[in-house]
Amino acid sequence: MATEINDIIKPENLVGKKSALLTDVPMHYCPGCSHGVAHKLVAEVIEELGIQAETIGVGPVGCAVFIYNYIDIDWHEAAHGRAPAVATAVKRLMPEKYVFTYQGDGDLAAIGTGETIHACNRGENITIIFINNGIYGMTGGQMAPTTLAGMKTSTCPAGRELKNFGHPLKMTELVAQLEGTCYVTRQSVHTPIAVKKARKAILKGFKNQKMEKGVSFIEIVSTCNSGWKMSPVEANRWMQENMFPFYPLGDLKDI
Amino acid sequence: MNNDVKLMKGNEAIAHAAIRCGCDGYFGYPITPQSEIMETLMVEEPWKTTGMVVLQAESEVASINMLYGGAGCGKKVMTSSSSPGVSLMQEGISYIAGAELPCVIVNVMRGGPGLGTIQPSQADYFQTVKGGGHGDYKLITLAPASVQEMADFVDIGFEIAFKYRNPVMILSDGVIGQMMEKVVLPPFKPRWSNEHILNINPWATTGKTVNRKQNIITSLELQSELMEQNNLRFQEKYRQVEEKEVRYETIRCEDADYLIVAFGSCARISEKAVEIAREHGIKAGLLRPITLFPYPSKVLQQLTKQLKGILVVEMNAGQMVEDVRLFTREVVPVEFFGRMGGIIPSPEEVFHALENKFVNK
C-alpha cells in the first residue's frame, strides 16, 4: 500500500507542498484547531519572501507556546502577554530584521493588553499576528476577554454574563485607532478562500516592515473546537454564525 | 588633570558608564530616586554617537521584557529602577535567569514595603539575593558604595553577565544614586559588531541560517527529567560563580576585635564608625561585601576566628544579618543595627551601637 502511495507522490503530480520552513515535528494542536493553518501561512510567507535568516519570531504563552518547534527560524519564547515588549527590543536593536509576534487572545488581549497597546502606539515596525478564538485553550477552556456574550466556558459555565464579566474586547478595533498602526485587518482560515486572504494579509504585514510605517496587526478569528466542545465542522459553523457578526472580517486600516 | 574626572551623581555615572562601555540598549521607566539614569541618557543622546538604543517603556514589566528580547539577540542591554519597580520586574528576571540571558539591572533602593518612601533603604537584600522571582535561580549582585563604583560596575556587570549568561544586579540605594562625588569615567569601548556577536554569542537570535540549528530563547521545558537537568546546570553555574566571582573590601581588619559588616552606603557610614571606634581605643574593622551573591563567606569565616563580636549594619530590619549568622554559625556573637523608613544612620549611631552591644555590655 505504502509503495502505491509513493508511486503517486511524484514531483509532477504535486499540486502543493509543505513549506520548507515547517519542521517535521508533529503539531500538538487538536484536530480542527486554526493554529496549524495559521502556522503554515506564517512559514509560507517567510519562505516566499526568502527571509528565514532575517526573521525573528516571538512566541506567546498559550496553545502556541511551542510554535518554535514548528517553524524553522530563531525564536524568543516570551512571558505571558509580553511578546510586543520583547519584539520591540529585538526590532530596535536589530532594525534590519523582520520581527513578529504570534499571540492568542488571553496573551494579547488580557495579560498583555498594556504591552500590545503601547507597542502599537509607539509604531514599532513589527507584525503582530493575533489568534482570537474567544477562549483560553491551553489551560482548559476558561473565559477570555474576547469570549462572546452568553458563551459558556469553564469559568463562566452559565455563559458570559455581561453585567458580571464585562464585554468582549475588540482589540483590533482598538489598535486601529492608534496612530502607530499602519495595517489592521481581521481574517479567518475556515475556508480555502479565507486562507488565501489571510495569507495575503500576513504577507502584507511582513512587507510593511521594510517601509517603516508602524505596526501591522492581523487578527485571525479562529476555532477552538476542544474548548468550545464542538466537532471541527460544528466549530467552523458556530464561528461563522456567532463570532463573525461580532468580529466582522476585513481590513480596518490600510495606510 | 584627567579630563574624564567629573563631579556627578551616582545615577548620572551609571548612565555615562553605560554609553562608554558599549551598551547596546537601555529600557526603563521613571521612578524616584533613579530617574536621572534615563534622563541623563536622553540628554546624552547616545543613539547619535555609539548607536545605543534608549527607550522609555510603558512599565517596568515592559522594560524587563525588553531586556529579555535584547539580551536574547546577544546584545548588551540594561535597565534601572527602584524597589517597587524592581518588584514588578521579578517575573521577567526569573525568565531571564531561566533562559540564561545576560543583562544588567540596576536597583537604586528606596524604603518599603509598598509605595513606602522615596528615601534610601537597603530593604531589597532578600529580594535580590534570595530569588525575588519564582524558581531556583540566583542574581549575581554587585553592591556599589561610591559614585566611582556605580560607574565601574556597569562594565564589570556586563562582563560577568556574559561570562555566565546570567542577569547581574547592581544593588545600589538612594544615597549612592543621589549623592555627588568625584568620578573617573571609564574609557570608551566600541559596541560589539554583529560579526563579533555571532562569534561570542552563538546562542543569540541573530537569524537562522542554513548552516546552523534554530536558536530559541526560552525557559520552558515540560519534560521533568530535562528540566531537572537544566536546574542542575544552573546550580553548577552558581557554584562556579561562588568560587570565582567573590568581591569584598576589608578595612582595618588585621587586628580587629570587632567587625562591622555592611554593604553599599552603610559601609561608607560604617567606615567612619570604625575610625571613631579606633579613636576610642576599640579595635574595630569593616568587611564590605561587594558581591552579595556570591557572598564573601570564606573571608567572613576566616576573620571570625580573631573576633569578639560582629555588628551588621543595614538600612532595613535585619536582612543580611541572617546570612552573616548562617555563615559564621554564630561562633561569635552577631548583633544588628539598622534604621528603616528612609533614615540614614550616622557614623556616631553606628559607633554607639557597637559600643552598647559589645564593649559596654
3-state secondary structure B106-163: EEEEECCCCCCCCCECCCCHHHHHCCCCCCCCCCEEECCCCHHHHHHHHHHHHHHHHH
Which of B214, B220, B226, B230 to mutate: most A Cβ within 10 Å? B214
pLDDT of residue B3: 66
Interchain proximity A94–B73, CB inside 8 Å = yes
Shortest CA gap A115–chain B (Å): 7
- Is some CB atom of chain A closer than 8 A to the CB atom of B29? no
From the list A47, A156, A134, A60, the residue with the least C-alpha distance to A100 is A60
Asked if the C-beta of A93 comes within 8 angstroms of chain B's C-beta atoms, the answer is yes
> CB contact, 8 Å: A118 with chain B?
yes
Spell out the residues 6+ positions from residue B38 whose beta carbon is closer than 8 angstroms to its own. B15, B26, B28, B30, B54, B56, B80
Q: What is the mean pLDDT of residues B18-28?
A: 98
CB-based contact, B72 to chain A, within 8 Å: yes
Read off the pLDDT of each residue in B270-295 and give the average, rounded to a whole number. Answer: 98
Domain boundaries, chain B: 5-195, 248-359
Q: Which residues of A touch B62 (CB under 8 A)?
A: 82, 85, 88, 114-115, 118
With residues binned 3-state (H G I as helix, E B as strand, rest as coil), the percentages for chain A, rounded to 5, are 45, 20, 35
- DSSP collapsed to 3 states, B261-323: ECCHHHHHHHHHHHHHHHHCCCCEEEEEECEEECCCHHHHHHHHCCCCEEEEEECCCCCHHHH
- Decide: B311 and B335 in contact? Cβ < 8 Å: yes
pLDDT of residue A2: 57
Whether B68 has its CB under 8 Å from any CB of chain A: the answer is yes
Listed by start position, the domains of chain A span 29-254
CATH 3.40.50.920 assigned to domain B248-359? The reply is: yes
Is A87 touching B (CB cutoff 8 A)? yes
A64 touches chain B (CB under 8 A): no
pLDDT, mean of residues B296-322: 97
Question: Which DSSP state fits B257?
Answer: S
Mean pLDDT to the nearest integer, A114-126: 98
Q: Is A53 touching B (CB cutoff 8 A)?
A: yes
- Note the ipTM here: 0.96
**Cβ separation B208–A72 shorter than 8 A:** yes
* Cβ contact A88–B69 (<8 Å): yes
* A97 vs A1, residue with greater confidence: A97
B27 has a chain A CB within 8 A of its CB? yes
Distance from the A108 Cα atom to the nearest Cα atom in chain B, whole angstroms: 13
Q: In one letter, which amino acid is B95? A: Y
Judge contact between A78 and A59, C-beta under 8 A. yes
Check B217 against A76: CB less than 8 A apart.
yes
Measured CA to CA, the distance from residue A135 to residue A138 in angstroms comes to: 9
Whether residue A74 and residue B206 make contact (CB cut-off 8 A), yes or no, is yes
**Strand pairing of B140-142 and B248-251?**
unpaired
pLDDT for the residue numbered B2: 58
Contact call for residues B318 and B336 (beta carbons, < 8 A): yes
Q: Is the pLDDT of residue B51 over 70?
A: yes
Q: What is the pLDDT of residue B356?
A: 96
Q: Do residue B57 and residue A55 have CB atoms under 8 angstroms apart? A: no
Q: Say whether pLDDT at B266 is over 70.
A: yes
CA atoms in the 13 A half-sphere facing the CB of B228:
2
Q: What CATH class is the domain A29-254?
A: alpha beta
Average pLDDT over residues A211-226: 97
Q: Do B73 and A56 touch (CB under 8 A)?
A: yes
Which residues in chain A touch residue B218, judged by CB atoms under 8 angstroms apart? 68, 75-77
Q: What is the mean pLDDT of residues B39-52?
A: 98
Comparing CA positions, the residue from A129, A133, A130 lying closest to residue A55 is A129
Which chain B residue shows the shortest CA-CA distance from A101? B69
Same fold, B5-195 and B248-359: yes
In this prediction, residue A15 has a pLDDT band, given cuts at 50, 70 and 90, of confident
Separation between Cα atoms, residue A37 and residue A41, nearest integer Å: 6
CA-closest candidate to residue B328, choices B312, B339, B314: B312
Averaged pLDDT of chain B: 97
Inspect the interface and report whether the beta carbons of B218 and A118 lie closer than 8 Å: no
- The reply to whether residue A115 touches residue B62, judged by beta carbons under 8 angstroms, is yes
pTM of the model: 0.96
Which residues of chain A are within 8 Å of residue B75 when distances are taken between CB atoms?
93
DSSP structural state of residue A243? I
- pLDDT value for B197: 98
CA distance A13 to A241: 37
Confidence category of residue A1, pLDDT binned at 50, 70, 90: low
Backbone φ and ψ of B202, nearest 5°? -65, -10
Fold of the domain spanning B5-195: Rossmann fold (3.40.50)
Cis-peptide, bond into residue B167, ω within 30° of zero: no
What local confidence, expressed as pLDDT, does residue A102 receive? Answer: 98
pLDDT tens figures, A133-146: 999 999 999 999 99
How close, in Å, is residue A230 to chain B by CA atoms?
28
Q: Give me the residues paired with residue A102 across strands.
A: A129
Measured between CB atoms, does B216 come within 8 Å of chain A?
Answer: yes
Q: What is the least distance, in Å, from the CA of A95 to any CA of chain B?
A: 11
A90 at interface of B, judged by CB pairs closer than 8 A: yes
